[in-house]
Structure 1
Amino acid sequence: MKLKFNLSPEIEKSLEEDIIYALPYDLDFEGEQVDGFLVVTQTKLHLFKAHMLDKTYSLEALKDYEVEQFIGSGALKVTYEGEGARICAFTPKWFRRYAELAKMLNYYAQNKVHSDYDEKKDEYICEKCGYPLLNGSTHCFRCQKKSTVLIKMMELCKPYKKLLVGSIVVTLCVELLWIINPYILRLVIDGYIVPRNQDPIGLMQLIFVYLGIFMTISILERCTMRLTNELSNKVAKELRGMVFEKIQALSLKDVSNRTVGELMNRMGQDTEKIQNFIAEYGRDVIIRGFSLIVLSIILFVTDYRLAILVLLPLPPVLWMVSKLQNTIELKYWKQWRKHGQSSSLLHDILSGIRVVKAYGNEEIEVERYTKAADKVSEAMISAETFWSKTFPFLGYLITLGEFLVLWFAGNLILKNQMQIGELIQYTTYVSMIYVPLRWSIQLPRVLADTMVSGGKVFELLEQESELVEDKQAVEHTIHGDVTFNQVGFGYTVYEPVLKNVSCQIKAGEMIGIVGASGEGKSTLINLLMRLYDVTEGSIEIDGIDIRKFSQKSLRSQIGVVLQETFLFEGTILDNIAYSKPNATFEEIIEAAKIANAHEFIVKLPDAYHTVIGERGYTLSGGERQRVAIARAVLHHPKILILDEATSALDTQTEKKIQEALDRVIEGKTTFAIAHRLSTLKKADRLIVLNKGTIEEIGTHEELMKNESVYYNLVMAQRQTAHIKQ
């Protein structure tokens, strides 16, 4: 996010140190508009008003930076000389930047070092045009170079260049045949009709040639259609595969930055627009250009005066189109944005349909979606209305040349300086040349719509994942020793989630991870699975840094049962076998028995072949959890991760599952997270996290004797349980 804005020369000259941050502020504490700047240098914080220095603070004297949000305004608050003080105020548009600045300055207050930051990361406003960026995007689709996107779209056709060249060649032949037709028509009129030539053989020959050309054109157009459709379908299929593969390759953080609805739009609607563009406009760029050149040459050779009249309206039309281009692009960009918001909302409503019905909010959700759909409709109507108002006028200007030709050529005929057949031939060519001209007027509209979709697709395809696969990644059979070496992690440097986490786990140990909510328990196991990369230190398995493992090798040997159970639409058999697609039916049954799931599965109408619906909605929470445990058991992992694996089970079932898990974890390195600390009593050791660091580590008995963080957590749970009883 950009935190360093350009300063006036007067301000820059008054500063003695390098500028680290510079943000405008536009309100005083009475709510009046001001022209101010907050500037942070190496050791000082300066406030300027109207380019004049107002106040200066030493950074050593400031701490506890905080942004307060009011109605229509915000303020930066600090602790100065032991007391809270507001140092500047601003309108809501600056709130996010000041919130980010407060975090950066708090980091400096604790570490006495200014943190590095990426100005493009998490930026939400385009610096060039000032419009908001889409979530997860690093560049503005309105300001992107259309030629670059167009070249990338054409490069998609490279593997199918034979189809592309074939469709172009066939279409060029069609265009040439269309150009020949008016000449034959002229021969018929001037050679036979006007002079009333009674030679039937010559006339019939010309008619047969004319009809033959039409039949040939019809056959070639069918060939063109088939080649083009085959080309566009193959490109679309490959492009969708590339987008889906890229989504799978991105890190969890990269995917989380975008909504599911937006990703589905890029997979579906955006790739479809690229497909349509290639099918309808890709080759036409060449064909229409060819027609325009050939017809222009014919018109100028035939009569340059008439040709000038034909093309006379073209310069003002092109000038008007260029002026309207930005407006057209903006309207289609807004249309896409509204459509994306509508799709995301629809996905959320349908995904949470149970919650909607549980609270009786069907009418509210219908109203929400209707409003979103209305906004999409308004954006589409606005774009199409604008075009429908401008295009007829542009089309009229273009065809104005045709009327000039008829008037001028009519005078030539009256003066016997041109024959009727020659006039018909010429006016036919004029009509033909207006086809590519009208097409070129439509092109900016199509480009504006398609380039937005193309830009989003290629932006996703070109995004570099935060998880970089080592070029010499190893395929290693895991034994199970795990070492955390001074591990640190934060989504930003100045907001660490984990700090200096170090411990060694031996193969076969069961490790319980405990701590209050938000202390980094799930983050720790996410790092072990390498869903994220550590920002400091390293995690080693069997003495090998997990960043040197291939991601497939690492995760194929780790089994996980997450707190949020997710089952795919399909049968119970499919869901259990997901972790091992080649498993035998006997192996699946054995895994289900270990997870205490076999008993309820065989009572279902189709047993293991029962279709459980999306997210397994036909099963109870406990049943879904047991299917997920069976899936992990079938995986035969060397490292097992249980994130609240028994949270959805009743006490009786939980006891059975715990007995099953005792058998499952035997010989496996196991990490278990549980809020009910009683379930971790059998753990070999417990890691207690507090404020992102390891506060304690030891057995249940040892930690209870310490009477520290773990002891307090256990006592709090016992007191809560006593109150409930």
Structure 2
Amino acid sequence: MLAREFPGVGTESALIQAARKLGFRTKTIEASAARLAQLPMPLLVAVKALPPTPEQTEPPPTLRLGLVTAAANGQLVFFEAGTNTPLTLDQTQLDARLAGPAWMLAPEVEEASDADAEETRTAGVSRRFGFKWFVPELLRHRKVWRDVLWASLALQIVALATPLFTQAIVDKVVVHRTQSTLIAIGVVMGIFVAFNAVLTWGRQYLVMHTGNRVDAVLGAAVWEHLLKLSPSYFHHRPTGVVAARMHAVENIREFVSGAAVSLVLDLPFLVICLGVMFWYSVTLTLICLGILAIIAIASLVMAPIFQKQLNDQFLLGARNQAFITEHIAGFETVKTLQMEPQLRQRYSGYLATFLASGFRTKQIGNTYNTFAQAMEQALTLLILIVGAWTVMTDPRFTVGMLVAFQMFAGKLSQPVLRIVGLWTQFQQASLSVKRLGDVMNAPVEPYSLMPQRQNDGKGLLEIEGLGFRYGEDRPMLYSRLDLRLEPGHTVAIMGPSGTGKSTLAKLLLGFYPPTQGSIKIDGIDIRNYSANELRAWFGVVPQETILFSGTILANLQAGNPNATFDQVAIACQMAGVHEVIEALPQGYQTEIGERGVGLSGGQKQRLAIARALLKQPRILIFDEATSALDAETAEGFEKTINQLKGKVTMIFISHALPRSLKVDAVLRIGPGDAHQFQLIQHDSGRKA
């Protein structure tokens, strides 16, 4: 299970990531036998790969590992990865094998309480998705945020100093014509400008760099959660809608790592700036606050309207993406049925509706921005008029103070407008959280990195009183289905279309839970297995073969990433596709397109058969596995499968029993509200 979970631990970063996922923190140290003997055991070490034997065709891994478990009297006990035989080496011998650093591992400290952990296990997700979902990751970088805050404080001081220097130039230099003072102030202001530029660049770099690190963790967590969702989740949601919700990550990233950080940095400046402005003039400050309050109220009024419009726009955009994704996936069918005119008309209507919704959204934003800018200009005008009047009537308020206050007001209005605009961004991010929350709050299948059950059984399959339906308002697809399949036996499941033959395979794989009854493997209900542990029992050739863009070899190794090339070739020979692949210009390294574009249906089906065999499962399920094969190839494949009889349990789902296939029993599923089942002895008379 661990080898399947971490197929490519060939670099130091991959090793550290795997250790973290297993609940260990790591510390990298320089490796020498003398130093290792003084450290707590066990220790992971990088060792030199042994020279390949003539029979080996695989290149050695980039990173080969060993384990040092004990040290005494100058001797160290060493295990090489992939072996259970300890070696006792002296320090010189071990030094000759070392090829890089060593790693100390220690369990991560679990900060959550037992109650929280139990709640997490019950919910099936790490924690309920929302804005607070980001807090732990942000707090991991608290030292960086501390530096950012110090830099921001320095920038605020510089920002406050600029109006004061301007006031000094107007009131002292211009009035008294003191050129020496002007030069001194100019030099100081120049230094401040350079200091401001350096600090601004440094602060922005820290914010962006840390934001990217947070984004990387978030993106990986979302993708990992998506991979652990039950297939039934995707059966009820169009692919385009799920993809659109995944894109919502970007909006949340920008808000949390950008806008929210700016909010924290702007608030201290507002407090200081307001204090200085009140010291200058209470009247002018109240005018400034009044105008800004009007802008804030307008933002609060517009927010729900804007959010509703954003929601409508998102739904229309998701509909468009689902429409495009669905019809591109079936483009050959579109061409065959000549659906282009009607699809063109439908998409034009969808696009027009989406663009109209987008225009309304932009118009709402444009109306608010225009109003806010008009109020900001009104603020500037009022400060000039009232300030000029104050200069003429109050000898303590100078022209320099008026100019400085105007600059302070500008510096105050910009953060306030940013904070008010942050409300609009918050609405957008909230909508994204809601959409992405549909994915992140969906319960995941249980996964485990270590076997929860003894997996040394032979694969006895028992179905007892099985009943299933797709929903509460749907009729029962099965009722009281019983089947016992001994290890190594073969059963054929036959029946008309729509009787649920393929659904039975999905129930065996845990894609759906049974409505009634139970399915057991070696006497253990499959609901007591983790999802990855259950599916490790099975190899499946589905009714519709799905291949992914990449090389043929990568597609074949999808179910067994650690398979050697020799094992791949043997599986392909059994599936009757090895010669076909070898005839291609690039052989097994031939690139194929999305969903196997460029291969025939028969070639794709044979690759799927080889992929299932390569997984080396204990139970093989063939769902119409020979439907796309020609008669000669199908007969050859059936003879090959007959050779596996007695070694692996096999289930063949088919409309008609293959002529050359030897089976122990045939399960016929008949039509009806609760299907009728008939188990027939076959072959040598053995009964499943």
Coarse TM-score class (shorter-chain normalised): 0.7 to 0.9
**Alignment CA distance shift 1:346-1:155 (3 Å):** farther
Q: Which moved more, 1:357-366 or 1:616-625?
A: 357-366
**Partner residue of 1:423 out of 396, 402, 408:** 402
| Partners of 1:650 and 1:440 in 2: CA distance | 68
| Partners of 1:591 and 1:285 in 2: CA distance | 59
| Partners of 1:274 and 1:307 in 2: CA distance | 35
Deviation string, structure 1 residues 659-681 (Cα, Å, up to 9, x no partner): 12212344211111001234586
Alignment of 1:696 onto 2:678: yes
Which residue in 2 is equivalent to 1:228? Answer: 207
| Partners of 1:501 and 1:173 in 2: CA distance | 75
**Partner residue of 2:264 out of 286, 292, 302:** 286
Which residue in 2 is equivalent to 1:664? Answer: 644
Alignment of 1:357 onto 2:335: yes
| Partners of 1:298 and 1:217 in 2: CA distance | 20
CA contact (8 A) 1:681 1:700 kept: no
Alignment of 1:238 onto 2:220: no
CA contact (8 A) 1:251 1:467 kept: no
CA contact (8 A) 1:511 1:670 kept: yes
Alignment of 1:276 onto 2:254: yes
* Alignment-mate amino acid for residue 170 of structure 2: I
Deviation string, structure 1 residues 137-176 (Cα, Å, up to 9, x no partner): xxxxxxxx9xx94434445423333333333332332223
Deviation string, structure 1 residues 572-626 (Cα, Å, up to 9, x no partner): 2222222221212111111111111112222222222221221112111111111
| Partners of 2:602 and 2:658 in 1: CA distance | 19
Which residue in 1 is equivalent to 2:368? Answer: 390
CA contact (8 A) 2:463 2:481 kept: yes
CA contact (8 A) 1:512 1:685 kept: yes
**Partner residue of 2:169 out of 177, 188, 193:** 188
**Partner residue of 2:595 out of 615, 623, 629:** 615
CA contact (8 A) 1:596 1:660 kept: no
Which residue in 1 is equivalent to 2:196? Answer: 217
Which residue in 2 is equivalent to 1:528? Answer: 508
Alignment of 1:325 onto 2:307: no
Deviation string, structure 1 residues 607-647 (Cα, Å, up to 9, x no partner): 22221221112111111111111111111111010100001
CA contact (8 A) 1:642 1:673 kept: yes
* Alignment-mate amino acid for residue 225 of structure 2: K
| Partners of 2:166 and 2:595 in 1: CA distance | 68
Q: Which moved more, 1:463-472 or 1:624-633?
A: 463-472
Which residue in 2 is equivalent to 1:78? Answer: none
**Partner residue of 1:514 out of 494, 501, 509:** 494
Alignment of 1:541 onto 2:541: no
The offset of 1:232, in angstroms, is 2.0
| Partners of 1:285 and 1:490 in 2: CA distance | 52
**Alignment CA distance shift 1:229-1:188 (3 Å):** same
In structure 1, runs of 5+ residues without a counterpart are 1-144, 704-725
| Partners of 1:169 and 1:215 in 2: CA distance | 17
**Partner residue of 1:599 out of 569, 575, 579:** 579
The offset of 1:468, in angstroms, is 8.1
| Partners of 1:359 and 1:494 in 2: CA distance | 34
Deviation string, structure 1 residues 380-410 (Cα, Å, up to 9, x no partner): 2111112112321233234423322211110
**Alignment CA distance shift 1:488-1:169 (3 Å):** farther
**Partner residue of 1:479 out of 453, 458, 467:** 458
**Partner residue of 1:348 out of 307, 316, 326:** 326
Name the % identity. 25
**Partner residue of 1:303 out of 281, 288, 302:** 281
CA contact (8 A) 2:445 2:530 kept: no
Query: In structure 2, the residue corresponding to 1:696 is in which secondary structure?
Result: strand
The offset of 1:437, in angstroms, is 2.2
* Alignment-mate amino acid for residue 145 of structure 2: L
Which residue in 1 is equivalent to 2:430? Answer: 451
CA contact (8 A) 1:511 1:683 kept: yes
* Alignment-mate amino acid for residue 161 of structure 1: R
Which residue in 2 is equivalent to 1:46? Answer: none
The offset of 1:518, in angstroms, is 2.1
Q: Which aligned pairs between 1:560-579 and structure 2 lie closer than 5 A? A: 560-579=540-559
Query: Root-mean-square deviation (CA), in Å?
Result: 2.5
* Alignment-mate amino acid for residue 217 of structure 1: N
* Alignment-mate amino acid for residue 628 of structure 1: A
Q: Which moved more, 1:447-456 or 1:357-366?
A: 357-366
Query: In structure 1, the residue corresponding to 2:608 is in which secondary structure?
Result: helix
CA contact (8 A) 2:538 2:620 kept: yes
* Alignment-mate amino acid for residue 502 of structure 1: D
CA contact (8 A) 2:487 2:646 kept: no
Which residue in 2 is equivalent to 1:251? Answer: 230
| Partners of 1:469 and 1:486 in 2: CA distance | 29
**Alignment CA distance shift 1:168-1:361 (3 Å):** farther
* Alignment-mate amino acid for residue 487 of structure 2: A
CA contact (8 A) 1:478 1:557 kept: no
Which residue in 1 is equivalent to 2:156? Answer: 175
Which residue in 2 is equivalent to 1:501? Answer: 481
Which residue in 2 is equivalent to 1:15? Answer: none
The offset of 1:366, in angstroms, is 4.0
Alignment of 1:264 onto 2:243: yes
CA contact (8 A) 2:446 2:530 kept: no
Query: In structure 1, the residue corresponding to 2:240 is in which secondary structure?
Result: helix
Segments of 4+ moved more than 4 angstroms: 153-156, 466-472, 678-681, 700-703
The offset of 1:295, in angstroms, is 1.4
Deviation string, structure 1 residues 189-228 (Cα, Å, up to 9, x no partner): 2121122224x1x433322221111111111111122111
Q: Which moved more, 1:390-399 or 1:406-415?
A: 390-399
Query: In structure 1, the residue corresponding to 2:496 is in which secondary structure?
Result: coil
Q: Which moved more, 1:279-288 or 1:363-372?
A: 363-372
Query: In structure 2, the residue corresponding to 1:519 is in which secondary structure?
Result: coil
**Alignment CA distance shift 1:610-1:372 (3 Å):** same
Which residue in 1 is equivalent to 2:619? Answer: 639
TM-score by length of 1: 0.72
Alignment of 1:629 onto 2:609: yes
Deviation string, structure 1 residues 466-517 (Cα, Å, up to 9, x no partner): 6687999325134121111222222334533222222211111101112222
Which residue in 1 is equivalent to 2:442? Answer: 463
CA contact (8 A) 2:255 2:429 kept: yes
Query: In structure 1, the residue corresponding to 2:332 is in which secondary structure?
Result: helix
Query: In structure 2, the residue corresponding to 1:641 is in which secondary structure?
Result: strand
Q: Which aligned pairs between 1:6-25 and structure 2 lie closer than 5 A? A: none
Deviation string, structure 1 residues 24-51 (Cα, Å, up to 9, x no partner): xxxxxxxxxxxxxxxxxxxxxxxxxxxx
**Alignment CA distance shift 1:686-1:467 (3 Å):** farther
Query: In structure 2, the residue corresponding to 1:513 is in which secondary structure?
Result: strand
The offset of 1:562, in angstroms, is 0.6
**Alignment CA distance shift 1:255-1:679 (3 Å):** farther
| Partners of 1:478 and 1:614 in 2: CA distance | 38
**Partner residue of 1:314 out of 280, 292, 301:** 292
Query: In structure 1, the residue corresponding to 2:141 is in which secondary structure?
Result: helix
Deviation string, structure 1 residues 414-434 (Cα, Å, up to 9, x no partner): 233421111111111011111
| Partners of 1:404 and 1:464 in 2: CA distance | 57
Query: In structure 2, the residue corresponding to 1:538 is in which secondary structure?
Result: strand
Alignment of 1:436 onto 2:420: no
| Partners of 2:598 and 2:466 in 1: CA distance | 42
| Partners of 2:482 and 2:281 in 1: CA distance | 87
* Alignment-mate amino acid for residue 278 of structure 2: F
